Amino acid sequence: MNSLPCIFGVFCHMSRCSRALLVATGLYLLLPLTGFGQPLETGERYIRDNFIKKEAAIPMRDGVRLYTVLYIPKDTTGSYPFLMERTPYSSGPYGKDDWETSLGPNRILGKEKYIFVQQDVRGRYMSEGQFEEMTPHREDKKTPQDTDESTDTYDTVDWLLKNIKHNNGRVGLYGVSYPGFYASASLPDAHPAIKAVSPQAPVTDEFIGDDANHNGAFFLLDNFGFNNRFDIKRDGPVREYEKPIFHVEIRDAYRFFLDLGPLKNTNGSLYFNHQSKIWDEYLRHSTYDDYWKARNIRPHLKNIRPAILVVGGWFDAEDQFGALRTYEAIEKQSPHNDCRLIMGPWTHGAWERPSWTKFGTLSFGQDLNAWFQETEAAFFDFYLKDQGTFGLSEATVFETGTNQWKHYDTWPPAGARPVRFYTLGDKVLSMTAPSGRSSKVLASAYDEYMSDPSLPVPYVEGVHGGRDNEYMVADQRFASGRHDVLSYQTETLEAPVTVTGRLRADFFISCSGTDADLVVKLIDVCPGNETDPGHTDNDEGTPGMQRMVRAEVFRCKFRNSFERPVPLVSGQPTEIAFDLNEVAHTFKKGHRIMVQVQSSWFPLVDRNPQQFVDIPTCSKEDFQRVTIRVYHDAAHPSNIELPVIK
């Protein structure tokens, strides 16, 4: 991840010490068993028989040495490209007697003749130097001390070309999550030998949409667990980090974080206690200031020369934003680029598993990973070895609902037209805009609920010690029955509705306090209910299931600017408009489209005190119940805009 490669119940790049991180946190057992935890086997014996292992401390331009592990083909009759992953999660196992059991991002590539390179990034594990969260990119480099991930990658590549025999002069990079960031960060001013790069679920902008925050709302559950295991101090290079910052056993995360109280209590003596540099940085920078802006790689993804394959998952709870926005940034800022996008119905990094045929109650009717891993191998083989062809579409996305891959010349598709679905009275969602205008807001022109920070809306049903990774496709009926959640739905669809592209929420709300969160969910309502079983159209959901398709949170004080928050005016209708990530989904005939609105999503997201305060420093007394109104008259037409393809 943000650092967050994996968090409670999330798949990460399961190689080397990232496995150990899951096991240590007890999260390994929270994941679906099918295909998980099984190494992408080429087998240690195969690797020993076919490769030479070499370890090197490669000097950077400022003198810092980065520890690097190489697996070089024994066959010296040819020349081979480098395929490299740079990681903060250990390039081990270290030493001549300890070997990997798999190489590369998948089993197909692991069987091919590449020079596989694994490197500990600056300040992590066996590498020297000081680690920085999402190392800021330096545009203006004047001295050898002006380093960043681009220069570290450049210097590494230059050393490899000069010191490793039988290379063909070409380099490819890949990585999932935080290693995905390092792949992206290699692109600005890339070494000419870098020919192919695949940022996969790359951490990209941690305040706007990845890992740490979404639209300024802090993702408490994930970051609390991750930084406890990740941000451990060291005095110098280490093969293994010591124990976590604190010990905690969480059986009921909702109750634990509610009892913990305000965010500042996380730095109490039982928890971080200011022992985590990253945690302190997160809490100290509660607006989109220079700290976060410097760690946004997007503005630097310009004039990119290597071929790019961006990969992401529709059910990636960490870095779905990162994949979509990395592709977008390259497209906008690099004319004549060679960049492609793949988005599938995967969780975080799940495309690396041996197979992927279902998730939650969704069944895809095929093994998506067999196709993807062949495609990934073809990408690197074509650009690094001149083998085969690579004719993938500009954007290849999996459409849920119909369970088929779709291919587009542009992303989002040019054929999608924006259609607004308005929230009206009587829980109605309609393409007909509200009519009627009045000099004052009538009671019939809004719906309201009481938002109580002492009883926040849970992000998922049930009791969970860590994050339930299936919340992104979970049944929302548990929320529909709450007094602090508003639900609006269409009539039964007489024909399928295919929504492909980015969503936009545009709601008019008022709050009796001076701040609030707005959580907007797009939901697919399956046919039938408990008294009328109906059918499920092979959805494998229960009749009447309200399956979430996409959701996002927005902290309302940032409605005008993420840099300069402003309070809500108590009781005054205010427009809150923001983008949600893209979808590719067909609502089938007989289904309904639903939108839910609420003001908490706990403990996935930290609680908003609903007062205009600095949340990381506020006290228990700052939290108060407020009344939230959602308006739906002609002057305040609350709606969600869906890109509909005919």
3-class DSSP assignment, residue 628: strand
Structure confidence by residue, pLDDT tens digits, 62-115: 999 999 999 999 999 999 999 999 999 999 999 999 999 999 999 999 999 999
Residue with tokens 């695949």: 198
Spatial contact of 547 and 626, defined as CB atoms under 8 Å apart: no
Mean pLDDT lowest among 303-312, 489-498, 539-548: 539-548
How high is the pLDDT of residue 436?
64
Question: Is the pLDDT score of 579 beyond 60?
Answer: yes
Question: Is the pLDDT score of 620 beyond 90?
Answer: yes
- Cα torsion 143, 206, 286, 470 to 10°: value is -160
Q: Which two structure tokens, joined as six digits, stand for 5?
A: 């490669």
Question: Residue 618's closest CA among 284, 282, 263, 280?
Answer: 263
pTM: 0.93
Query: For residue 443, what pLDDT band results from cuts at 50, 70 and 90?
Result: low
Q: Which two structure tokens, joined as six digits, stand for 241?
A: 């980090």
Q: Which two structure tokens, joined as six digits, stand for 71?
A: 């697996």
Compute how many other C-beta atoms are within 10 angstroms of the C-beta atom of residue 208.
Answer: 20
How high is the pLDDT of residue 437?
54
3-class DSSP assignment, residue 631: strand
CA distance 266 to 273: 7
Q: What percent of the chain has pLDDT over 70?
A: 90
3-class DSSP assignment, residue 464: coil
Question: Is the pLDDT score of 438 beyond 90?
Answer: no
Query: For residue 317, what pLDDT band results from cuts at 50, 70 and 90?
Result: very high
How high is the pLDDT of residue 11?
32
How high is the pLDDT of residue 27?
39
Q: Which two structure tokens, joined as six digits, stand for 520?
A: 């907007």
Q: What percent of the chain has pLDDT over 90?
A: 89
Backbone angles phi, psi at 619, to 5 degrees: -110, 170
How high is the pLDDT of residue 529?
60
What's the number of CA atoms in the CB half-sphere (13 Å) around residue 411? 28
The overall average pLDDT reported for the chain is 92
Average pLDDT over residues 407-422: 97
How high is the pLDDT of residue 542?
85
Question: Is the pLDDT score of 429 beyond 70?
Answer: yes
* Cα 442 to Cα 436, 447, 570, 598, distances in angstroms: 11, 11, 17, 22
For the residues of 382-439, what is the DSSP string, one character each? HHHH--S-----SEEEEEBTTTEEEEESSSS-TT-EEEEEEEETTTEEESSPP----S
How high is the pLDDT of residue 15?
39
Question: Is the pLDDT score of 520 beyond 50?
Answer: yes
Contacts of 554 (CB under 8 A, 6+ apart): 214, 215, 216, 217, 505, 517, 518, 519, 520, 576, 578
Average pLDDT over residues 611-635: 97
Delineate the domains of the chain, giving CATH numbers in brackets: 17-204+297-408 (3.40.50.1820), 417-645 (2.60.120.260)
Angle, helices 220-230 vs 253-260, to 10°: value is 90
How high is the pLDDT of residue 540?
58
How high is the pLDDT of residue 40?
39
Question: Residue 137's closest CA among 285, 300, 305, 330?
Answer: 300
How high is the pLDDT of residue 435?
85
Average pLDDT over residues 621-641: 97
Q: Apex CA 199: angle with CA 396 and CA 147, to 5°?
A: 155
Structure confidence by residue, pLDDT tens digits, 354-404: 999 999 999 999 999 999 999 999 999 999 999 999 999 999 999 999 999
